[in-house]
Structure 1
């Protein structure tokens, strides 16, 4: 199922680069699109219309008082993973906005954090073919040990752009 928006075309070009260059190129581009994600040092490891994987290193600038990634930084990670993926699927004549964020902190995190968001075929078709709507996008956040530490759901909405 092809997407004809600017973001997906740009990501398609980046995904044609050698595998070793893709995360850096994706991260630089997405950091320009969403400056806060760039400031926090998120690393886009994979980005397709049906999957987004982003890593946030446990560095001082994103840490809380106990040395793990701050809860708000995990919210940024979840929003970025779901938003980048949704953004690849919404046609250019629409605008997307986050409508709701729900994060449940399950365990204390250790090390770097990884957010993985996915769309089913049905969800992807809905986003592409619905002029005005919203969709619930789950995202799993794991820590450096592979343990799920945050369960999150983002609701993204879109409407036609005003002329």
Structure 2
């Protein structure tokens, strides 16, 4: 899949660092590129063009009234994981945008939150070859007990960048 994507190039360079340094470097990079992720304290555990795993510590700044990770903070986690993946695959001449978010809170989450998201090879190929389109990115939420407290779907679209 040869296409120009500066973001993928940067992530590829970061992924050449020793394993212990990658999460910190990825988190700092995306915290500067997408400031709200840094403000919330999202930590990127692993990221490549088909897989993303990120987490959010259950700290006061992201808590709700019952001391769990706030619903909107958990959605930020899901939107970030899926958005990072789409951003790594959409060529530089296209722009990714979130289209729909659907979430069902099925049980009370305990402790920190983690999201794992995936793209298939077919989904990745369509982002490169199709001028515009949309993709539902597979994702799973986990709490600190490895239970799945939220079922969510994130659909992303991409369109050609406007030439101003």
Q: Give the match for residue 66 of structure 2.
A: 66
Quote the Cα distance in structure 1 between the aligned partners of 2:43 and 2:69.
Answer: 14
Q: Give the match for residue 130 of structure 1.
A: 130
Kindly report structure 1 stretches of 4+ aligned residues shifted beyond 4 Å: none
Q: Give the match for residue 44 of structure 1.
A: 44
Quote the Cα distance in structure 2 between the aligned partners of 1:161 and 1:70.
Answer: 34
Q: Give the match for residue 161 of structure 1.
A: 161
**Count of residues in Structure 1 that have an aligned counterpart in Structure 2:** 163
Q: Give the match for residue 23 of structure 2.
A: 23
Quote the Cα distance in structure 2 between the aligned partners of 1:135 and 1:65.
Answer: 34
Which blocks of at least 5 consecutive residues in structure 1 are unaligned? none
Deviation at 1:3, TM superposition (A): 4.7
Quote the Cα distance in structure 2 between the aligned partners of 1:2 and 1:8.
Answer: 11
Q: TM-score, normalised by structure 1?
A: 0.97
Question: What's the CA shift string for 1:26-73, capped at 9, x where partnerless?
Answer: 001111111111100000011111001000000000000001100000
Deviation at 1:4, TM superposition (A): 2.6
Which blocks of at least 5 consecutive residues in structure 2 are unaligned? none
Quote the Cα distance in structure 1 between the aligned partners of 2:2 and 2:153.
Answer: 26
Q: TM-score, normalised by structure 2?
A: 0.96
Q: Give the match for residue 146 of structure 1.
A: 146
Quote the Cα distance in structure 1 between the aligned partners of 2:135 and 2:78.
Answer: 15
Quote the Cα distance in structure 2 between the aligned partners of 1:13 and 1:76.
Answer: 25
